[in-house]
């Protein structure tokens, strides 16, 4: 079974970044035919859940959880501010709708608050965690999938049966809630190939996605404006 687990975290990031870029190129008018764009859209539904999985892995293995959470919120804020400023000049609604880092950050903070609540035995942290989960679920891009996926993946990491029951619940939620992502489960077979290793571990690999994510969105929006 271990022979098919051929992807480390760095491999997953690179594959997901490529799919994300391909999917977002669809937002440049008249570049990709609609039929091809539809196929790309379906295939790329794995991107956000895989990154959510990697964030959970980051929480599990982080040597400094506070810094890790701060980094997520920092780049979520940079993406939010930059996209809103650019949208004023470009008039591009896509910029305002695209920021999965918000759901990832609030989902991660919700998990962290429960961890800290158990360590410090402070019930107020449990209450704050619920608020974080609700904010990420309701207001983050992909929040209806990403936030519960992160919670089930973390809290039932040693109980596969409950974890997959949770994933089934997410499928039901995704089907019932308008504008959710019913094809998110495409991510699961890809995650199954993960071997638990970090892969490339440099400053570049650490910050690559954080920088690439907002930058490629802004560049594509500018290209679309001039085309």
pLDDT value of residue 30: 85
Q: Is residue 126's pLDDT more than 90?
A: yes
Kindly provide the b/e burial profile for residues 193-218, where b requires at least 16 CB atoms within 10 angstroms of the residue's own CB: ebeeeeeeeeeeeeebbbeebbeebb
Number of domains forming the structure of the chain: 1
Residues 64-79 have pLDDT tens digits of 999 999 999 999 999 9
Q: Which of 143, 140, 146, 132 is nearest to 50 (CA)?
A: 146
pTM of the model: 0.95
Q: Is 182 exposed, middle or buried (0-12, 13-18, 19+ CB in 10 A)?
A: middle
Work out the pLDDT band at 3, boundaries 50, 70, 90: confident
Residues 152-177 have pLDDT tens digits of 999 999 999 999 999 999 999 999 99
Q: Domain containing 31: what range?
A: 2-226
Largest CA distance in the chain: 56
Residues 132-151 have pLDDT tens digits of 999 999 999 999 999 999 99
Q: Average pLDDT, stretch 205-214? A: 96
Q: What percent of the chain has pLDDT over 90?
A: 91
Q: Average pLDDT, stretch 99-123? A: 96
pLDDT value of residue 186: 96
Q: Is residue 1's pLDDT more than 70?
A: no
Assess contact for 125 and 96: CB atoms under 8 A: no
Average model confidence (pLDDT) across the chain: 95
Q: Is residue 89's pLDDT more than 80?
A: yes
């Amino acid at each position: 079974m271990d022979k098919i687990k051929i992807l480390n975290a760095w491999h997953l990031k690179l594959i997901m970044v490529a799919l994300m870029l391909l999917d977002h190129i669809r937002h440049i008018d008249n570049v990709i035919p609609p039929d091809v764009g539809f196929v790309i859209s379906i295939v790329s539904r794995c991107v956000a859940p895989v990154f959510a999985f990697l964030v959970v892995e980051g929480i599990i293995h982080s040597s400094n959880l506070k810094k890790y959470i701060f980094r997520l919120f920092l780049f979520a804020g940079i993406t939010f501010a930059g996209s809103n400023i650019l949208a004023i000049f470009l008039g591009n609604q896509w910029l305002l709708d695209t920021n999965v880092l918000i759901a990832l950050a609030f989902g991660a903070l919700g998990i962290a608050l429960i961890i800290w609540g158990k360590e410090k035995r402070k019930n107020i942290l449990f209450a704050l965690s619920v608020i974080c989960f609700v904010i990420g679920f309701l207001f983050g891009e992909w929040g209806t999938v990403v936030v519960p996926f992160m919670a089930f993946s973390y809290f039932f990491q040693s109980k596969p049966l409950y974890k997959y029951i949770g994933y089934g619940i997410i499928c039901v939620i995704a089907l019932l809630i308008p504008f959710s992502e019913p094809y998110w489960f495409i991510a699961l077979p890809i995650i199954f190939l993960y071997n638990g290793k970090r892969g490339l571990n440099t400053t570049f690999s650490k910050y690559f996605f954080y920088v690439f994510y907002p930058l490629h969105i802004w560049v594509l929006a500018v290209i679309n404006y001039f085309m």
